[in-house]
Structure 1
Amino acid sequence: MTTPSVDAHVRLDSHPAHSSAVTAALTGTQAHVAHMALEADGWIAVAENILVLARIDHEEPYWAEKAAQALNAEGITTEIAPSLREAIDEEWTWANYPMPWCTRSEIREVSDQAQKIYDDIQYGHLLIHAHAQDGHTTVAVGTYLSGGKSVYLHGENHLRQVADTFDSPAQALVAFEKAHGDTMRPGPAPMTDTERAAAKARTSLDTPAVEPEAPLPALEIVPAYAADAGNHDALLDTFLDAHGDWQKRRTWSDETTHAIHEDQTLRIERVHDAPTHETAWTIAAYETPVSDRMWVLTATGSTPAPVLQDLLHHLAHNNDWDTALGSPLDGGPSPPPRSPSPMPDGSTPWTAAGSTGHPPRETRESNSTPSPRSIPSRTSTPGPSEQARASTAPPGPSPHLRTPQAHCWPTCRKPSPTEPAPASPRPLFEHA
């Protein structure tokens, strides 16, 4: 016997706002026939001639195909969208499923029973008296309003199942309180994320509203010396991660971190949480691991990050600091004889951001022959806490950082030929 044709057409497609839900769009003079058939199968109307199938077990594509087959058997034409057909044909299973012995069809049967329990609760057929937390899952006790059977439920979402039954609500509550009295709470448990998403898909086809992003602040281009200090600790960590020839060492105090080059002739001391205008960085160079210090540079916590980044890049990719005592750091001509009288202020060619907040820079002009005043006559090695006085030169990035051709003369004296060599390695930094 040929099934009579029904003037109804059903197009099944993926839900626009839910990962696995399915929509059904009905057309035709007898669309109401398809509408009643789908509602009887668990589909929910969200608009005129638009129905949705949203489940908590993510098996909507499977059951949508079953619905299409049933509609075709009734003489109703169906169409499956390509995206939905792809989801139907996809083979998948649950990760870390607690019952690994179950086949795929058996897993689907378990989740279908969980779906029926969820629907009974949503439609008011199953009244939940209380719930409790049992380890990493939720348990509950309730009674079916038709028939009076009380049940003990274990699990959430697609794993919820009836673990026990009772003849009366009183008997069920007494047993439930005895087992879960410490965590027992009245009424049903709060909805899970999966239940909430399914409930929302059953009421609307709208995609979630995208909150407008806050406008980005306007970028202001400023000279490097006027930039914000930025995150100095992150700057040092990035530098050490990118250069394997440097080793990070923590001291007995968490306030200080040392970074040492593999040949131990260039060393960095980083003082965390240093006040803005106090020394936060000390960089020192040595001719050998056990020799006197050749030069020292300090920078305050207010030094802009771009300046420090250029400095670290120069230290990592330039060997100007690895020179013999008494010669310019860039391998240029040897310095002229020292001035017979020391500079009045005892300043050094290297200066750092001091109380004025300026970044490190050289004070002498960048000519090939430095003036006598640009060469310190002091013979003692300054400690890291001795911060050089700020230069009166106009503020700006250090010429030494811009080009490796700028000169920087060592600040310590040559050891006398008769002076005995140190017996043991010098400390990382000498303190005045």
Structure 2
Amino acid sequence: MEALVRSYGKGLTAVFAGLVALWIILMIVVPQVTMIDRAFTYQDRGGETAMLAIEIDRAYTKRFQLEQQVQRAQNAADAEPGASAPSVSAPSATPSIGAPAATTPSAGGLPQPSAGGAANQEIDVEALEAEIATLTAKIEELESQEDLSSGEAGMKATYSLKNFTTMSGIHFQIFVMTLLYAFCVTILSFLICYPVAFVIATTTNRNRLALMMLGLVIPYAINELLRIFSWIMILEKNGILNTFLNFIGIIDIDAGEGIRFVASNGAVFTVMVYAYVLFMVFPIYNTIDTLDKNQIEAARDLGASAWKIHTRVVIPHAKPGIAVGSIMTFMLSAGSIAVPEIVGRGLHPDWFSQLIYRRFFEADSWNQGSAYSLALLIACIVFIFATMAIFKVGIRDIAK
């Protein structure tokens, strides 16, 4: 602070300090406090509200089936202008709103009328439209009841650990596997980035150094989403990699032998390593660059092998950079939503970040989404302290 006062004066220093404090409060403190409050606030959505939601869903399903029957009857009438009044085959027993309709799932995920039972009775379109109108009125009545019930449920919100303890077994498994996936991405990033960082830090040719730096930085001038989609174009079944394998005769795309690389977490790991490579390379490079290169030469003169030079000289000196790179890569990987959501969506196991997204924006359960987010944040904080303990570095060492 004293250096800032000497450089900019008390007025500008106060402005800088105020802006930083405002940024910390608005962008870090307030969102985190809100998330913690929501995570421990439990809203009971069971009982009457849940039953109303089920009935509304069944009514919508039944209305959709009837609308499809009307549409098919009208299409049949249009196809045969001389035909009599349109009618359609339907099951003899019409399920009530409160009971599930006999349906079988279609390829698109929408329910279709069951093919079983006595399905030869003819029902007029007018009768179907009358039933649709009745269902519409019933849906409106049920939704108004649901609004009142939801309002009452919201008033009874209490502080509890239920948002955490009600996590299903499959969600907990995804949580643990996501941490393992992020750890794998971190290890892969280190194995790839350490040699690159060492070569860059020890090169004496300025032109080569400039070219290597440009090779690392230039791809990041492109938007992250575009880089992710470019990898999809490479790894998809009809992508560049399969085209190359087809060209050299390993597979035959025309015979359907293309390999869908995106249907595995390996593709997600690959894209993540590429997306976060700079966060591992530069911290390691910065620490190796401060190493006295005479120590490496002395180790070589004393007959040390390359393995011993790295394990006894370079890596011990680069521990703060490795720790920073590992922490940043792990946290970015564990919290990434773009890569697992875009790369082979539905073809590889889910990541916990996808579950958090669905809790917030699909299930409209912000409290449980906050609980999931807080659990992931705590896991990342534990990883940070574990990494610092393993590499025996402190906050000051990392700051350097």
Query: Normalising by structure 2, what TM-score?
Result: 0.22
Higher strand proportion (structure 1 or 2): 1
Higher helix proportion (structure 1 or 2): 2
Between 1 and 2, higher relative CO (CA 8 Å, sep ≥ 6) is seen in 2
Pair member with larger Rg: 1
Query: Normalising by structure 1, what TM-score?
Result: 0.21
